[in-house]
Amino acid sequence: TQLQDEEKSKEYLDELEFLAYTAGGEVYKRFVQKMQMPNPKTFIGTGKMEEVREYVEENDIGTAIFDDELSPAQQKNIEKILRCKIIDRTNLILDIFAQRAQTSYARTQVELAQYEYLLPRLAGMWTHLERQRGGIGMRGPGETEIETDRRIVRDRISLLKKKIATIDKQMAVQRGNRGALVRVALVGYTNVGKSTLMNVISKSEVFAENKLFATLDTTVRKVVIGNLPFLLTDTVGFIRKLPTQLVESFKSTLDEVREADLLLHVVDISHDSFEDHIASVNKILDEIDSADKPTVMVFNKIDAFTNQTIDEDDLTTERTKAHYTLEDWKRTWMNTENTDAIFISALNKENLEEFRKMVYEKVREIHVTRFPYNN
Ligand code: GDP
């Protein structure tokens, strides 16, 4: 329905704004357009574009961000019209990853993803430079120059790929050396509280902040619950429309997930779109053949869960989803016999004992099958 569409686009733009903020930007205005199909030339329609152009000009806006990946041609066309920096969702996410990469491995992966994003856009960039130089009377760079650039970028890409392949091998060896300890991986949408939970569980100090993608490099900690040691990995936050360049280049990060024995799928139940988040995460898990692993659904942030107050007169027997209480949710699919689910607050340390017990039981089950004679 239209109302649902509006809610969705608001949520998407909320998230985009949050991403922009994470990247260090400040958002002045949002524009929404409902279309069956994006305009092949300019993504949005002519009228809307004019509206945006006026706003950009009047307010001296430096950057316009689009919530979808723009084709190189679209990006070029829009840049010509708006005369400001044009960034798409992929570009924005790559930028955040680049800012936050802490290890040389992560930096190499991001650089590779950035070059792969850049390659098809090289021609467009030249046009952009031309305009900055004044354009008229200036001969633009010939095809040969663009070709030279393409070759340089291609060479760089193959070099980075080789470098990554070497580190991948080393990392695979390291993972192998970790022995037969049961491996547990925290997965979940970005900003749901994975690092916080990791800290509480392993009593370590993993960086946690209210920004998207605070976690970029995986952290592995040895954790002991009730004499049972296991390895706990905090993985990169998943996100809707994760750029394909990144899915590929973060293969090794995702290997931690692929090789895990147990997944703790953390969900921010206080977020309006938490069901979408679950779906996005499951999609990525599916892509790396990890959808069938034993999984515990960890519904976090129960302290922040609020269900909207409702007018008692409107209350029919069929409650709408927005009016579900936590108790209602617990009675849905989340807590059926074949899903292991737990409701916690990592921040307020609510229900953590239950959580530990559940993890212990699960790890123990796996441990026993692995060392049948030691138990
Ligand atoms: P990650 O991206 O999944 O690793 O998430 P973080 O652990 O960095 O947490 C993201 C934000 O959510 C931080 O501001 C945390 O303080 C906050 N947070 C984590 N757990 C809870 C919780 O149980 N309740 C509330 N209200 N906030 C939480």
Predicted confidence (pLDDT) at residue 296 exceeds the cutoff of 60: yes
Residue 254: which pLDDT band, with cuts at 50, 70 and 90?
Answer: confident
Q: How far is CA 181 from CA 56, 173, 336, in A?
A: 56, 15, 29
221-251 pLDDT, tens digit each: 888 888 888 888 887 667 777 777 777 666 6
Among 124-128, 312-316, 327-331, the range scoring the smallest mean pLDDT is 312-316
ipTM over 0.90: yes
Residue 130: which pLDDT band, with cuts at 50, 70 and 90?
Answer: very low
Taking domain 2-98, whether its CATH number is 1.10.510.10 is answered by no
Q: Do residues 187 and 258 touch, judged by C-beta distance below 8 A?
A: no
Distance between CA 166 and CA 174 in Å, rounded?
A: 13
Predicted confidence (pLDDT) at residue 141 exceeds the cutoff of 70: no
Max avg pLDDT among 76-85, 201-210, 235-244, 321-330: 76-85
- How far, in Å, is the centroid of ligand 1 from the Cα of 245? 27
Average pLDDT over residues 152-177: 86
Q: What is the mean pLDDT of the chain?
A: 80
Location of each CATH 3.40.50.11060 domain in the chain: 2-98
Which of the listed CATH numbers 3.40.220.10, 3.40.50.720, 3.40.50.300, 2.60.15.10 matches domain 181-370?
A: 3.40.50.300
Residue 33's CB is within 10 A of a number of other CB atoms, namely 15
Average pLDDT over residues 299-305: 90
Predicted confidence (pLDDT) at residue 33 exceeds the cutoff of 80: yes
17-30 pLDDT, tens digit each: 988 988 888 999 99
pLDDT for 59: 95
Average pLDDT over residues 68-88: 92
Distance between CA 35 and CA 320 in Å, rounded?
A: 28
- How far, in Å, is the centroid of ligand 1 from the Cα of 197? 8
Location of each CATH 3.40.50.300 domain in the chain: 181-370
Strand 183-188 relative to strand 85-88, pairing: unpaired
Nearest CA to ligand 1 atom 25: 301
Q: Do residues 69 and 88 touch, judged by C-beta distance below 8 A?
A: yes
- How far, in Å, is the centroid of ligand 1 from the Cα of 48? 37
- How far, in Å, is the centroid of ligand 1 from the Cα of 301? 8
Which of 18, 190, 191 should be mutated for ligand 1, with most atoms under 8 A from CB?
191
Predicted confidence (pLDDT) at residue 268 exceeds the cutoff of 50: yes
pLDDT for 36: 87
- Name every protein residue with a CB atom under 6 angstroms from any ligand 1 atom: 188, 190-196, 208-210, 214-215, 237, 300-301, 303-304, 345-347
Which of 207, 347, 355 should be mutated for ligand 1, with most atoms under 8 A from CB?
347
Predicted confidence (pLDDT) at residue 311 exceeds the cutoff of 50: no
- How far, in Å, is the centroid of ligand 1 from the Cα of 210? 7
Distance between CA 35 and CA 44 in Å, rounded?
A: 8
Residue 51: which pLDDT band, with cuts at 50, 70 and 90?
Answer: very high
Residue with tokens 């930007």: 25
**What's the burial of 4, exposed, middle or buried (CB within 10 Å: 0-12/13-18/19+)?**
exposed
Nearest CA to ligand 1 atom 9: 193
